[in-house]
């Protein structure tokens, strides 16, 4: 039985199928969500062969349905959740539509050259590789291997003396991140892809016992007002997912290491409604304080590798706090062949064949929204987290949610591609079509896209204001 329908869509059946796929992944047996989802419009909307709007609309709708479902469980009436495909496209590029005190947020990085070095570079064998130097450690790894300063022309000059796979291996061995541009066929026959193909785009599993715990604030609106979320994430995907939870009422404590901060612009864009504390888990006293925080949390969201080695893996947390929901973000999967590799949105696009399929002029390319996984994965993970909270309320247990960026790329690829000749003439997204909202904050007024969801009987919440890193004590 489906709980979704589509309106005013060129190919509504396709988007409905994707929403129903997610609904099946997240469903609690015997407790269907009666709320319904409407998606207005569909692909193709931008010059991409991929079905970007359809996938993102489905993920946003899935999150909205889970929010409506948790409110239903607490006694509220079913809702109609509406998503507009054009708004979904703008959500993928929200980082480039956000301004702080009138300045584009992307221009506010502490090192203005860092993002400019992130690019495709051609190697000696004619293949392309994507290199990332956005953080100091990653920049140093690339520049040590290539023996060059961090300037794009010098990186390009050095890369042409390497074969692509040798450079990928050397950068990864040196503590950096990189991905050779592969074809979809090449990727799908790899050991790494076979590992991911055996997994859902959202993985949701019970990992331990726990009591049934309904959210006391579930009948209120927004319905997550009693939820405590420990947020150990960085960059965009994880922080945006916890920002979604905060926007729907959760008390989110974002925790970061003081010597590895995210850029101020990312904090401004992804920190809405959260408190921010410092903790260095290498320090025993601070690790104990973080453990106390987790022992009283309903949800722990993590996007770092190696947390098992520090005693904060999902099973450790389930033993510490029976009934916890742990949401993990990884690029390649935590325990797969590349489990020890770091990764970012652009690397997932490069390795999976996504970037090669976006090729219009003989050079691989990122999608016309530039970002894909960071926002798409955020909605998928947030939907999985709320679904796990519903399961905890109905059947009890401790739960783990996993979202892998490379698997998200593959999920977008799975329905097939448009012919490039049919989409090449479509305009690239320029001015936002989505409404913008301005929120006052310690960083100055932040103007950004609104939450791209509408509910039939209740208002859509507005993003909260972000706070500076380390501005709160490490406690509830």
Kindly report, residue by residue over 390-437, the tens digit of the pLDDT: 999 999 999 999 999 999 999 999 999 999 999 999 999 988 999 999
| Predicted pLDDT of residue 365 | 96
The C-alpha atoms of residue 257 and residue 278 are separated, in whole angstroms, by: 6
> Among positive and negative, which fits the CA dihedral 91, 24, 350, 400?
positive
pTM beyond 0.85: yes
Element spanning 327, H or E:
strand 325-330
Average model confidence (pLDDT) across the chain: 93
List, for residues 126-144, the tens digit of each pLDDT value.
999 999 999 999 999 999 9
Rounded-to-integer distance, Cα 311 and Cα 295, Å: 13
Please, which residues bridge with residue 446 across strands?
Answer: 100, 439
92: tokens are 């993928």
Please write the tens of the pLDDT for every residue from 97-131: 999 999 999 888 877 777 789 999 999 999 999 99
* Residue-level pLDDT at 7: 35
- The pLDDT tens digits for 341-399 are 999 999 999 999 999 999 978 899 999 999 999 999 999 999 999 999 999 999 999 99
- pLDDT, residue 13, reads 62
For residue 296, the model assigns a pLDDT of 98
Please state, in angstroms and rounded to a whole number, the distance separating the CA atoms of residues 467 and 324.
26
Q: What is the dihedral of CA 385, 389, 392, 393, to 10 degrees?
A: -170
Range with the poorest average pLDDT among 16-20, 22-26, 206-210, 231-235 = 16-20
Please state, as a whole number, how many other Cβ atoms lie within 10 Å of the Cβ of residue 222. 21
Identify which of 230, 367, 251, 359 has the alpha carbon closest to the alpha carbon of residue 302.
230
pLDDT mean over 234-258: 97
Distance of alpha carbon 119 from alpha carbon 97, whole angstroms:
21
Residue 324 reports pLDDT greater than 70: yes
pLDDT (0 to 100) of residue 9: 34
The predicted pLDDT at position 218 comes to 84
Least Cα distance to 187 among 401, 417, 8, 347 occurs for: 347
* pLDDT over threshold 50, residue 207: yes
* pLDDT value at residue 351: 98
């Amino acid at each position: 039985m489906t709980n979704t329908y589509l309106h005013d869509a060129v190919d509504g059946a396709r988007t409905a199928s994707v929403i129903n796929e997610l609904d099946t992944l997240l469903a609690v047996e015997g407790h269907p969500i009666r709320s319904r989802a409407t998606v207005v419009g569909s692909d193709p909307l931008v010059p991409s062969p991929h079905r970007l709007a359809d996938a993102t609309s489905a993920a946003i709708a899935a999150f909205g349905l889970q929010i409506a479902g948790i409110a239903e469980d607490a006694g509220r009436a079913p809702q109609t959740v509406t998503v507009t495909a054009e708004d979904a496209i703008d959500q993928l590029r929200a980082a480039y539509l956000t301004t702080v005190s009138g300045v584009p947020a992307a221009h506010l990085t502490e090192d203005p050259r860092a993002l400019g070095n992130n690019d495709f570079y051609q190697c000696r064998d004619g293949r392309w590789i994507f290199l990332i130097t956005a953080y100091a450690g990653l920049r140093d790894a690339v520049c040590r291997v290539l023996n060059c300063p961090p300037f794009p022309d010098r990186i390009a000059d050095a890369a042409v003396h390497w074969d692509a796979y040798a450079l990928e291996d050397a950068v990864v061995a040196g503590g950096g991140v990189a991905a050779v541009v592969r074809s979809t066929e090449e990727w799908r026959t790899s050991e790494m892809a076979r590992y991911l193909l055996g997994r859902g785009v959202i993985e949701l599993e019970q990992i331990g016992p726990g009591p049934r715990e309904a959210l006391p604030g579930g009948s209120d609106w927004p319905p997550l007002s009693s939820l405590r979320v420990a947020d150990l994430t960085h960059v965009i995907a994880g922080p945006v997912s916890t920002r979604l939870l905060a926007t729907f009422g959760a008390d989110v404590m974002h925790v970061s290491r003081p010597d590895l901060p995210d850029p101020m612009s990312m904090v401004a864009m992804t920190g809405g409604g959260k408190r921010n504390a410092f903790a260095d888990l290498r320090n025993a006293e601070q690790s104990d304080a973080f453990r106390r925080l987790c022992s009283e949390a309903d949800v722990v969201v993590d996007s770092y590798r190696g947390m098992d080695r520090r005693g904060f893996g999902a099973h450790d947390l389930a033993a510490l706090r029976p009934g916890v929901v742990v949401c993990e973000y990884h690029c390649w999967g935590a325990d797969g062949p590349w489990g020890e590799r770091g990764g970012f949105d652009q690397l997932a696009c490069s390795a999976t064949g996504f970037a090669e399929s976006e090729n219009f002029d003989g050079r691989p390319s990122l999608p016309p929204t530039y970002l894909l996984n960071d926002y798409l994965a955020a909605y998928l993970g947030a939907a999985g987290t709320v679904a796990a909270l519903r399961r905890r309320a109905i059947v009890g247990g401790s739960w783990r949610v996993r979202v892998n960026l490379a698997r998200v790329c593959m999920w977008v690829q799975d329905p097939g591609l448009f012919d490039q000749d049919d989409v090449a003439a479509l305009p690239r997204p320029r001015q936002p079509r989505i409404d913008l909202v301005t929120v006052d904050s310690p960083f100055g007024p932040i103007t950004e896209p609104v939450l791209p969801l509408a509910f039939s009987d209740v208002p859509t919440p507005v993003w909260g204001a972000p706070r500076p890193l380390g501005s709160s004590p490490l406690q509830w």
